[in-house]
Each structure stands twice: as structure tokens, then as C-alpha cells.
Structure 1
Amino acid sequence: MRGSSHQRTNASSRFLRNPSSPLSFVLYISLLCLFSVIFFFNSTTQILENQPKYPFHPQHSSSLKGSDDSLWSTPFSHSLRPCVKPTSQYTAPQNSGRYLTVRSNGGLNQMRTGMCDMVAVARIMNATLVIPQLDRKSYWKDSSTFSDIFDELHFIRTLQGDVRIVKELPKELESVPRARKHFMTWSGISYYKNMSGLWKEYQVIHVAKTDSRLSNNDLPLDIQRLRCRALYQALRFSPPIENLGKLVERLRSHGGRYIALHLRYEKDVLSFSGCTHGLSDAEAEELRIMRENTNHWKEKKINSTEQRLGGLCPLSPKEVGLFLHALGYPSSTLIYIAGGDVYGGSSRLHELESRFPNLVSKDTVATAKELEAFSDHDSQKAALDFIVSVESDVFIPSFSGNMARAVEGHRRFLGHHKTITPDRKGLFELFDKMERGELEEGSLLSSLIKQMHENRHGGPRKRGGAPPGVKGRNRFRFEESFYENPYPECICSSKKNGQMATSKVHI
């Protein structure tokens, strides 16, 4: 090999010494061209090898640069900033020797908010909180532990000035009798002060359910801010989930701006709500049977037409397409689909894809190898959807639910990032008129939908109470969730209290 290289070098030298020879000149140019081609091929190969290999190829995403900026802009927030700092009256936690064990129930976001309630309850009752056990018996049947989904050490350290938290119950207390309680839903500070009387007989209290155990309103400011510190600072996802949160960077590198669409057109949602509009008779029957066979769903006979008229059904993929088009989003818009499998599969999702072909999900943005560790762990995969949704340019939920409320609340906390909440009742009226031939798709429909959603972009407003006429304890159930809108307790106009003003998601 050395001899061949030496001969090539000598030949090149002769060409350089005799540039006047026509043959030498031609050969010299040919060699230069050959070397250029080889160099270009090698460089191109290296570049391609360094490119991430995702099954993800948006079409015409660059056309978004010319789209209306008002479609993406954040609502005016009046210089509001997050404020979670305790008041001057706040004291450090004491080691009382009392312990609270809890079993969190529901899906990911129901468990998240429930655990934050339990942090506040432990503070109120002057108890040490044991790291919660997660629900393994729900619809998802996820076997994940707390540390699989959340950064356990970070959770303990972040709240050490608020509540004492331990990984396990001390061994000497494992066999002692426990008070097993289903704490009353939507309870206030006085209720838990009364529950503290249980410490006279027990050293350990076990809470069987954590969802909605605290009222949304009428709690001390320090308790409300503690709930925010727990949710927005302490309850960060585990490193594997946080690391795969780089899906956001991939979306940005391909499309720049994107919509996160929480598409809840899922089998369990349709079955639970009794919504069958646009489905076949066989599909409607399948949903009815599922509802009948799900014991903890109390309502069995549901009138689908009444549900739709009341705006209590999720938007279908076709209706979402009509909605986004009417708002003015171009067909090239990159849309990340968050949520489970669409009922009806690809054929039904095609009704949205035909208008907006740049549909992606975690399954197409991430590689199969990256998602392998999350297989059979729906709560962990839901965490990925949550991160991508919170950091999106626009978030749109097709149905109200725990994730939709949690994402909206987090986006409000981070600076009222744009969240468009569809007026489903109003939209269904317009879409039904279209089906009857009384309204056509076009400028009139677009104008009506834009006007309908003029003030539904996630702008600042105080948390809503119960609707007029709702009285008694029932009113608590109809109040707007604290975690959906933590204003005014955790969002202030004072720049002095504006810590944590960041667009990065660390849950």
C-alpha cells in the first residue's frame, strides 16, 4: 500500500512540474475531480450517519413561517408571574412520630394532584408522609412504582422545609394497627384538624384514596402555595422520562412550532360518557356493553343525544379538523397527538389527517428502542405526553379530563401559554347544522367559531366557583379545579415573588 501511495504522489508531482503538457493537464484535472467526488461522498455519508433516525418526516413544515402569528401568540398576561414562596408566618415541620401512608388512585394526573393534596394534608395534620403507593388496579393496570415515574430523592429534598417525607414506614411500625380512612372529598382545613384527633389512638393513618381530598378554595394561602410547590417544583419526573422529554427538541427541529392535541376520542371515554354520535350500531353496542361491565361506573343508561347537546362529548377527529381549519391553522401545521388509541383506528384518524397531514405522536417521534423501556407502562408514557403538551406552542384538549386540567394549570403557572379550550356545546350546534345542510364550511363558519373562542385562549382570570343555583356540598364538585387554575394564590403581579418563571418543564 505504501508503494502505491508513493507512486501516486510522484505522478502528481510530475503533473505539477509539467502543466504545459495537454495530457498531463487532462489527467491532473481528472484526478482533482475524482478526489473531490470521493471527499464529497465521505462527508455526506458522515453527515447522514450522524442524523437522528426517527420515523418522523413532516411535510412542508417550513410554510408555517408565513402563518398568522396571532394563531401562536401567548395571551397578554399583565406581568403576572409564579409566586410560591411561603409567608413569614410559615414554620419548619416537626418530627411528631406520626405517619401518613397513602395509596394514590387513578391515572397519572389524578395520582399527581392527589399526592400533592396529601403533602398538604400531612402538613395540616403534622405528620410524616411515607412515599405514596401508586394505583395498579385502574383501567391502565400499570405496575410502575413512585420512583419509576418520579424523582424520589428530589421530591423528598424539595419539600424538606414543608413536610417530613420518608421512603418507608419504620420497621417497628409496620405491624401496628392503623386507622384506615377514606377522607371526605373537597374537605377544608377544619375537617383535617378534626381528623388529627385520630393520633390519640393511632400512630399511623392509612389513606385509601387521594383524589380530590382537599377543597379548591377557602384554604390558607400557605397551604395553597404548598400544593403548588409540591406539583410544580417537587414532583419532577424520573431521569429516564425527563431525558426522553427531548421529543420536544425533535419537534422543534422539524416543524418549529407545533400544536399538542389531547385527543380523547378513546374507547373508555366514549363508553363512560355514553357518546355514540357518528358511530355504527355495532360500535355503539360495544361501548354499551363495556359500560355495563365496568362496575365502578355508576351510570349505565345514557342518552347520547342529550350528552352531545350538553357539550359533554369529546370532539371527534373529523370535528377537530373542522375546528382547527376554521380557526385559521394551515394544513402544514405540525400536530402532536397526545393520548391513547383513537376509537375506530386509523380510518377515523384519517378524517383529521386528510386536513392536517403532519400528525405525529410519541410513537413516531421517538424510536422503538427508546420506547421499549416504557412498554406496558401507560403512566410513564402519559408522562411523555404531558411534557410535550406543557411545552407546546398551543395546547388543545378535545375533552375535559384530569390531564387537560393539569396541563392547562401548568401552562397558566408558566406564563399563561396559549391553551384553546373548545366550546364543545357551541361547536356541536354548528356541526349539527352542517349535517342538516343549514350551514356550509367557509367564511361564515370560520367567523362564528373564531368569535365563539375569542376569550378561550388561556388568558389570566381568577378561578371560577360553582355555577349559580348549585348549593350544599355538591357545589364543591362543580368548582373549577385548583390545579386547573392556581390563580390568584400561586400567580402574582409582584415581580418580587416571581421565582420559577421558566418555560422548561420539570415536574
Structure 2
Amino acid sequence: MAVTMAKQLSPQCLSGVSPPCSAFLVSEKWLRTAWACQWRWAISRSVLCGVMLFALGLVSLFTGQIAADLEWSRIRGRWRSKRVGYSTPTDIWKSEFANLYHGCSDRSPHFRDAVHDSESNGYLLIATSGGLNQQRTGITDAVVVARILNATLVVPELDHHSFWKDDSDFADIFDVDWFINSLSKDVPVVKRIPDKVMRSMEKPPYTMRVPRKSTPEYYLEQVLPLLLRRRAVQLTKFDYRLTNKLDEELQKLRCRVNYHALRFTKPIKLIGRKLVKRMRTMSSRYIAVHLRFEPDMLAFSGCYFGGGDKERNELGEIRKRWATLPDMRAEVERSRGKCPLTPQEVGLMLRALGFVNNTYLYVASGEIYGGEASLQPLKDLFPNFYTKEMLAGNDLKPFLPFSSRLAAIDYIVCDESDVFATNNNGNMAKILAGHRRYMGHKRTIRPNAKKLSSLFKACKQMEWEMFSRKVKLVQRGFMGEPDEMRPGRGDFHEFPSSCICQNPDHLVIGWISMKPGIGGNETVRQHATPEVEISGDESRFF
């Protein structure tokens, strides 16, 4: 055995054995040396194999990443819009690629029909929270949760106790019969729990509050057992209580609720359309600006807007309403992009983007902190300045005591505008941005507040042309183009990617739109509309 082993040893191993000892290879000392050499050789081979496997793993990881990038590039082709520099002319009123996409939220053939309410797992009651648009997200998600639980949804109860103190019910704002009928194939909806069922219940509905952005699994594991046991469950403070990440069919249900089932009542629609018509009579196109600059909103933000000690004291007193709010440093919040733009900053942003001073503006807002003094700089930049109060006159009187109905009127006029801009990314801004994307990517401008804040701070030290170029640069990706956000990222109500499809008669390849023709593919190159020139000395507004 020792002789056989000796033949297998490498010369390097044998070199460690002196010539006199070579005749005694079978000695015990030599055997120990031989075993050690063979062990070292085995370890070397193991290390070599390990290194090779590690290298193969790195190669596999690298090629896998390349494949993933290629796959994302293929998917991104659906959403790609033309990337332009700030020196390139662009149509500020309309996305060049708006006509390439459309909203698509139809049920798929395998999405089963809703059961009759008598065959469901019980009744789901919802108490929404916040203002109109925050409640709208709650209503939308409530329908999806009812579908997940196989429950009958009772028409949601609106919030009567929030800051707005609006006692409007669901039927005062939304067409309740349309809501019930349009969702009949998705979820059974009733106006109230039948009296017969209420009398048969041993206990009143179980009341609970679920965590924010809860998953379907949470509802099935935590809520469904209670629903089966008690026959009725009420979920309170229901806003953003369902995760953004759902399967595609449930996301499409969200869109059917938000963009089709939630239809305003006839009185609200009539006055909303009347205001749109009056804006169109004065100008063929207009910008709608949602201006959140109410005292409570500013106090909650913890930001400072240049009003000195008077502002600090007034907003500080309002801020005491929220005992749990942490102390905030105004400059830090502004540098993080958490502060809403002032009316003047909104005007400067729009003028820098290329909208001229004879552009018609519809401003949707509540009580503006600082009143007319705060609004005057915006009016100087855009003299054709209108609000619902200015356009509606006495027609608005029946709605004045109800903040949610006033917000619904603003929603209609903003949604119908050619361009929608906002001074912060609040609930109405997100809901409207999603709706406008669904309706064909109508131009929607969100301020890049984090980068704009430094520009506004330094604007007095630069020429208007330089300021305008920089604003256009930082607003890339915030102008409502189809590819501004990856599908599945962000708030679904703001970017409903599962419900947006590419039109079948257009293919977007790079910067070229391929439109199939009768005799083959017809290539249509995208041409930009000439940029509107800014006239006058704009630096006087700094």
C-alpha cells in the first residue's frame, strides 16, 4: 500500500524526503509524511474547485444582471417618452406621447362574478377619514377589501368630524345608485344592512382599525375570522389601509371604482361643467392650479414662508392642535422638499417653464394664508386669474357650507384642464395625477420641491434666462410624461400602471413612433411644438 501511495505522490512531496530514507519508504515516519502530502494535495484541489465555483457564480450573477437590464429595457419601451434637454423645444401644453396610451381596466374573463349579498361572508362597514380626496382613496380600497373578504360592502360612511366639519353623506357627493350598479359584477354593495339581518345579530358589528397599507393576507387572517363570527365588521379611519402591491386584477378593480364607479351627483356635475365652459369661453386652453396654502396645512408642515414673527406665532399656535407632532427645523424641511410652494413660487415655476402671462389660470384652493397679499404675486404673473367663487357667483351659494362638495367642483374643473399643476403632492394632487394619466397622460406638473427650493433661494443672483433653464432642467421627470415612474413604484392612486395600456396602432421604439399602415408599417417621427417665448423683464418678479 505504501509503495502504491509513493507512486501517487508528486515530486514536490518526495523532495522533502532525504535520499538515505528513500529505501525505507514504508517506515512509520515516511508514512506520516506521505499522508500529510496527500492531505495537502486534497486541500489544494478543494480550494481550486471552490475558486472555480465562485468565479462561475460571479459570471452567472453578472450575466443575470445583464439579462434583467435587457428585460427592463424591453418593458420600458411601453412607457418611453422622448427625453429632451432644457434647450430642446417641447410642447408645454401636451405630452407628445399622450395619444399612445389609454386607460384599460376591464375585467378579465377569469375574474369571477360577485356572489349575491345573502351568500357572502358578511357585511363590511367602512368609516372613511379626512377630506374628500383622502376619503376617495378609502372608498376605492374598501371595495377591493370587500372583494378580498368575499363580503358585502355597505355604502361607506363619510367623515363628519375632521377639520373640515362637513356633514355631507355619500349620496350628497356621489351618485350612490350608479356606484352600486356599476360594481354589481365585482362586489355586492348595499345602502345599509337589512333589518332582518340586524335583528338576527347577537352583537353589534365588531369595530376595529387596521394598520396602514395592510396586505390581503392580513385581512384574510385577522379580519375574516371576525367577519364570519360576527357577520358584520366596521373598519374605522379607513384611508390608505390597503397595500399598493396587489395582483393585476385587484389593481384594475381599483381603477374601475376610482375612475368609473365614483361619479359625482348631478348638481355637482352641472356646476362643474358650467365653470369649465366659462373658462373655455374665455380661452381655448387653461391651466388649473391646486393651491394648498391653508393655515392649518402650513402649520402642520413645520415650514417657514417669510412672514416673520407674526407668521411663526400664528402657525405655532395652530400647530399645538397636534400634540404628537415632533419639533421640526423649517430649513431642514425645505431642503428635503417637504414644504409646499408659495403662490409666488408656483407662478415663477410656470413662467420659467414657458407659460406666458396671458395664460388663463383656474386656482382651486381653500382659505389662503395671508389672503390677498399672498395671492397678489401670482396674479401679477398671471393676470387672467380665476376661482370658482369668481366664475360661479350666486350659483355657488347652495354648496358654500359643504367643503367636500366645493372640493368636488374644483376636482371637475381641474380634471378638465389642459394642464394641471400643484404646489405640493397632497391627496388631491395624487388622485388627479392618476386620473389624468388614466385618461391619456394629460399634462400634469408636480413641483420638484427639493431642487426648486435651492433655485428660489438663489434666484435673485441669476438672470431670468438662466433661472428658466435651470427650472426646466430640475422639472424633468415631473411633467406628466408616461415614463416618469417605473410600473409598480410609488402610490398606485398616483400612478395606476396596471390600468394603462399602449394603443395597438402605435409602437414606441426609442424616440420613433411606429404606426402600422395599410401597406406596412408607417414611421411617424415625433416633432416638438415650438417653445413659447417668454417676453418682458421677468426678473422684476424675484
- Residue 273 (str. 1) matches residue 283 (str. 2): no
What is the aligned counterpart of 2:490 among 466, 477, 480?
A: 480
The Cα shift of 1:294 comes to 3.2
The Cα shift of 1:462 comes to 7.2
Instruction: Say which one has the larger Rg.
Output: 2
1:356-505 mapped onto 2 (5 Å cutoff): 356-368=382-394, 370-434=395-459, 437=460, 439-461=461-483, 463=485, 480-487=490-497, 489-493=498-502, 495=504
Match of 1:325?
A: 351
Give the Cα separation in 2 of the matches to 1:407 and 1:83: 17
Deviations 1:103-159 (A, max 9, x none): 111100111111110001111101111111100001100010101000000000000
Taking a change above 3 Å as real, the CA distance of residues 374 and 69 of structure 1, as seen in their structure-2 partners, is: farther
Give the Cα separation in 1 of the matches to 2:98 and 2:407: 29
Deviations 1:7-59 (A, max 9, x none): xxxxxxxxxxxxxxxxxxxxxxxxxxxxxxxxxxxxxxxxxxxxxxxxxxxxx
What is the aligned counterpart of 1:181 among 191, 208, 215?
A: 208
Give the Cα separation in 2 of the matches to 1:464 and 1:266: 32
Give the Cα separation in 2 of the matches to 1:232 and 1:143: 24
Percent identity for Structure 1 against Structure 2? 39
Match of 1:11?
A: none
Match of 1:241?
A: 268
Match of 2:250?
A: 223
CA contact (8 A) 1:84 1:228 kept: yes
Give the Cα separation in 1 of the matches to 2:339 and 2:141: 29
Give the Cα separation in 1 of the matches to 2:137 and 2:491: 10
Which moves more between the two structures, 285-294 or 70-79? 70-79
CA contact (8 A) 1:395 1:420 kept: yes
Match of 1:84?
A: 105
The Cα shift of 1:277 comes to 2.7
| Structure 2 letter corresponding to 1:315 | L
1:122-201 mapped onto 2 (5 Å cutoff): 122-174=146-198, 176=201, 177=203, 178-194=205-221, 195-201=223-229
Give the Cα separation in 2 of the matches to 1:416 and 1:235: 20
What TM-score do the two structures reach when normalised by structure 1?
0.78
CA contact (8 A) 1:122 1:163 kept: yes
CA contact (8 A) 1:74 1:418 kept: yes
Give the Cα separation in 1 of the matches to 2:144 and 2:503: 25
Give the Cα separation in 1 of the matches to 2:504 and 2:440: 13
Give the Cα separation in 2 of the matches to 1:441 and 1:422: 21
The Cα shift of 1:328 comes to 1.7
Give the Cα separation in 1 of the matches to 2:128 and 2:478: 32
Which moves more between the two structures, 87-96 or 239-248? 87-96
1:39-78 mapped onto 2 (5 Å cutoff): 70-77=91-98
Give the Cα separation in 1 of the matches to 2:93 and 2:429: 19
CA contact (8 A) 1:260 1:335 kept: yes
Q: Number of paired residues?
A: 409
Taking a change above 3 Å as real, the CA distance of residues 294 and 380 of structure 1, as seen in their structure-2 partners, is: same
The Cα shift of 1:74 comes to 2.5
The Cα shift of 1:78 comes to 6.8
CA contact (8 A) 1:291 1:300 kept: no
The Cα shift of 1:273 comes to 0.3
CA contact (8 A) 1:248 1:391 kept: yes
The Cα shift of 1:495 comes to 4.2
Give the Cα separation in 2 of the matches to 1:461 and 1:191: 32
The Cα shift of 1:460 comes to 1.1
Give the Cα separation in 1 of the matches to 2:112 and 2:413: 36
Deviations 1:175-210 (A, max 9, x none): 632221212211222222223222331100111122
Give the Cα separation in 2 of the matches to 1:148 and 1:91: 32
What is the aligned counterpart of 1:354 among 374, 377, 380?
A: 380
Which moves more between the two structures, 283-292 or 152-161? 283-292
SS in 2 for 1:180: strand
1:254-293 mapped onto 2 (5 Å cutoff): 254-293=282-321
Give the Cα separation in 1 of the matches to 2:486 and 2:348: 29
The Cα shift of 1:389 comes to 0.9
CA contact (8 A) 2:98 2:442 kept: no
The Cα shift of 1:266 comes to 1.6
The Cα shift of 1:440 comes to 2.7
- Residue 335 (str. 1) matches residue 361 (str. 2): yes
Give the Cα separation in 1 of the matches to 2:342 and 2:228: 54
The Cα shift of 1:321 comes to 1.9
Taking a change above 3 Å as real, the CA distance of residues 350 and 411 of structure 1, as seen in their structure-2 partners, is: same
SS in 1 for 2:435: helix
Give the Cα separation in 2 of the matches to 1:422 and 1:403: 14
SS in 1 for 2:390: helix
The Cα shift of 1:171 comes to 1.2
- Residue 121 (str. 1) matches residue 179 (str. 2): no
| Structure 2 letter corresponding to 1:491 | I
CA contact (8 A) 1:120 1:223 kept: yes
The Cα shift of 1:173 comes to 3.5
What TM-score do the two structures reach when normalised by structure 2?
0.73
Deviations 1:393-434 (A, max 9, x none): 111110110000001000000000001111111111011113
What is the aligned counterpart of 1:306 among 325, 332, 339?
A: 332
| Structure 2 letter corresponding to 1:452 | V
Deviations 1:197-246 (A, max 9, x none): 223311001111220111111x1211111110011010000111011112
Alignment RMSD, CA only? 1.8
CA contact (8 A) 1:75 1:457 kept: no
Which moves more between the two structures, 223-232 or 445-454? 445-454
Match of 1:110?
A: 134
CA contact (8 A) 2:147 2:186 kept: yes
Match of 1:476?
A: none
CA contact (8 A) 2:478 2:484 kept: no
Give the Cα separation in 2 of the matches to 1:377 and 1:308: 33
